[in-house]
Structure 1
Amino acid sequence: MAVWKTRNKLHFENKKPSLMKVLCSIKAWIRFIAPHLPGHASGVSDCSLLKAMGVVPVPKIRRVPHLVLWHPPFVPWLKLNTDGLAKGNPGPAACGGIFRDCFGRFIGGFCVNLGHQTAFFSELMAIIIGVEFAFHFGWHHLWLESDSTSALACLSSSSFLPPWLLRIPWLNCLAQIRAMNFYNSHILREGNSSADRMASLGLTSSYLIWHDTPPVEISPLLHMDVMGYPYFRVS
């Protein structure tokens, strides 16, 4: 605005501009408008420049990383980590799950392509398939862990109605859970990386695959979990 006014005076009134007046006008406008603009100062240079203009800098809030750890279950429990995904939501979908014992050893895992579905459908399907495998193998001390709070909430809801395609499988899943010693918990997405990678493998499969040994794609993540290496979540 100050530059525009000075230019007009020079063009229409033939008045030579005063650099000092222009700078003072610019600084006044900056001081006036700064409190009404979003943003923050980052670094010493930004703060020094703003202070020189008479603006009180708002420092950038530092995001502190939080450690996320995967914990093994207690004897005689097995932990089942599940995950589901949908590229586009809805879009190409898949799910997967990993069973591990109290030492963090890989007991088995599964993955499957689900076609065109939502992420919520995939999360539920991962739970259904995982519980069915546990029930089939006689693993009746099951600790289910997922990064989907909405899917976990459905397990304790008396009013939840699953998608039509999952009505019967979901009822069977609940019946199998009632026949087990069952526990479920939430884990942040960063700590569920092994199950997430297993679900991604399901996108390339045309049928349900059971793994007796860990796929090479998830072996490094399993090793990190066993050794207690943390994942980091910035929030």
Structure 2
Amino acid sequence: MWCALLNWFGLDEGLSCYGIHELLVFAWTLQLSSQIKKFWKLGVISLIWALWTARNKCHFDDKTFIHQEILVFLKATFIEVDNSFPKMGHMDNKWKDYLVIWQMGVRPRVRPPPEMTSVYWSPPAYLWLKANSDGSAMEAPGRIYAGGVFRDWRGFVRGCFHVEGGLGFAFEAELLRVISAIQLAHRWGWNKLWFEADSSYVVHILSTKSTRVPWRFKAIWNQALLLLERIDYRISHIFREGNVPADIMASPHTPEGWWPFGVDLICDAVVRDLSVHSHVRCKF
């Protein structure tokens, strides 16, 4: 029975020698397409139940073990679940997955093509500066980093920064980048600032001026909110694909500091933002 099930899914028959615990661990960790994986787990559990039921019938009811009945039961189970639950994932669009689906007798659910979206970085209005920033965290909790790039209406870099914030979580790294951008804008007297971030959390706390932040950032965030009242600012969201220079500045491998010009690390990304070619965002 186990060899038959493994053959349906194109797996090695030698796996039938596994103990039940090893088999269950293998079943839940095997890398398959979403549709195949769900039916594979269903097949393992259904076969365990079917064999146990058949054994009891043979032992207590003097029934005869007929392996073909169990195979029919498994396929009927696959078909019933496929009809009852339309959201069973998608197969990889490969011949191997199609053969597995055909063996089970269920409908192939072809993976839809990815949605392609163009992402543009656009310069700010005349005499405005756009502050793109990003944060990164190593593990949770781990060391947090923040970085950002200030660019004018011509797309020229007016400054970039990288700061480290000790141990923390990813959302604290997002908060750190906002605070750093506000402080630097105040230091250099930039009163027309357009904040752009790839984090909905950043957009939310800037839009609402929320004070619900971690206690260790409470004082410095309240100071940043006071500085923000002296700035004419806008807030917008951009996908990560259009926030590459800031993402580079937030990398743990970038040295800490402030530069009143564009560093070599981000030159190519800045030039790409100014070109006519957009970034492409793929959503599967």
Deviates more, 1:123-132 or 1:37-46: 37-46
Structure 1 pair 178–61 and aligned structure 2 pair: CA distance change class (3 A): same
* Distance (whole Å) between structure 2 residues aligned to residue 131 and residue 226 of structure 1: 25
* Distance (whole Å) between structure 2 residues aligned to residue 66 and residue 145 of structure 1: 18
In structure 2, the partner of 1:218 is 266
Structure 1 pair 44–121 and aligned structure 2 pair: CA distance change class (3 A): closer
Deviates more, 1:126-135 or 1:156-165: 156-165
Give % identity: 31
In structure 2, the partner of 1:13 is none
Q: Letter of the aligned partner of 2:160 in structure 1?
A: G
Q: State the secondary structure of the residue aligned to 2:136.
A: strand
Q: What aligned pairs does 1:79-98 form with structure 2 within 5 A after superposition?
A: 79-98=130-149
Structure 1 pair 198–228 and aligned structure 2 pair: CA distance change class (3 A): farther
* Distance (whole Å) between structure 1 residues aligned to residue 102 and residue 142 of structure 2: 50
1:194/1:222 contact within 8 Å kept: yes
**Which among 141, 149, 171 is matched to residue 120 of structure 1?**
171
1:30/1:53 contact within 8 Å kept: yes
In structure 2, the partner of 1:63 is 114
2:78/2:106 contact within 8 Å kept: no
Structure 1 pair 32–145 and aligned structure 2 pair: CA distance change class (3 A): same
* Distance (whole Å) between structure 2 residues aligned to residue 149 and residue 53 of structure 1: 43
Gapped regions of structure 1 (runs ≥ 5): 6-16
Q: What is the number of residues matched between the two proteins? A: 218
When you count helix as a share of all residues, which structure comes out higher?
2
Q: State the secondary structure of the residue aligned to 1:175.
A: helix
Which whole-Å deviations, capped at 9, do the CAs of 1:104-158 have from their partners, x for residues lacking one? 1111111112121222112111111111111221111100011111122112336
In structure 1, the partner of 2:78 is 33
* Distance (whole Å) between structure 2 residues aligned to residue 115 and residue 97 of structure 1: 18
Structure 1 pair 74–35 and aligned structure 2 pair: CA distance change class (3 A): farther
1:70/1:191 contact within 8 Å kept: yes
Q: State the secondary structure of the residue aligned to 1:127.
A: helix
Structure 1 pair 154–175 and aligned structure 2 pair: CA distance change class (3 A): same
Q: Give the alignment's Cα RMSD to 1 decimal.
A: 3.0
In structure 2, the partner of 1:155 is 206
Structure 1 pair 164–227 and aligned structure 2 pair: CA distance change class (3 A): same
* Distance (whole Å) between structure 1 residues aligned to residue 74 and residue 255 of structure 2: 58
* Distance (whole Å) between structure 1 residues aligned to residue 207 and residue 129 of structure 2: 20
In structure 2, the partner of 1:105 is 156
Q: State the secondary structure of the residue aligned to 1:112.
A: strand
In structure 1, the partner of 2:43 is none
For the pair 1:188 / 2:239, whether they are aligned, the reply is yes
In structure 1, the partner of 2:188 is 137
Q: Letter of the aligned partner of 2:81 in structure 1?
A: H
Q: Letter of the aligned partner of 2:266 in structure 1?
A: I
Deviation at 1:159, TM superposition (A): 5.1
Q: State the secondary structure of the residue aligned to 2:233.
A: strand
Deviation at 1:223, TM superposition (A): 0.8
* Distance (whole Å) between structure 1 residues aligned to residue 103 and residue 169 of structure 2: 53
Q: What aligned pairs does 1:47-62 form with structure 2 within 5 A after superposition?
A: 47=98, 50=101, 54-62=105-113
1:112/1:203 contact within 8 Å kept: no
Deviates more, 1:149-158 or 1:101-110: 149-158
In structure 1, the partner of 2:277 is 229
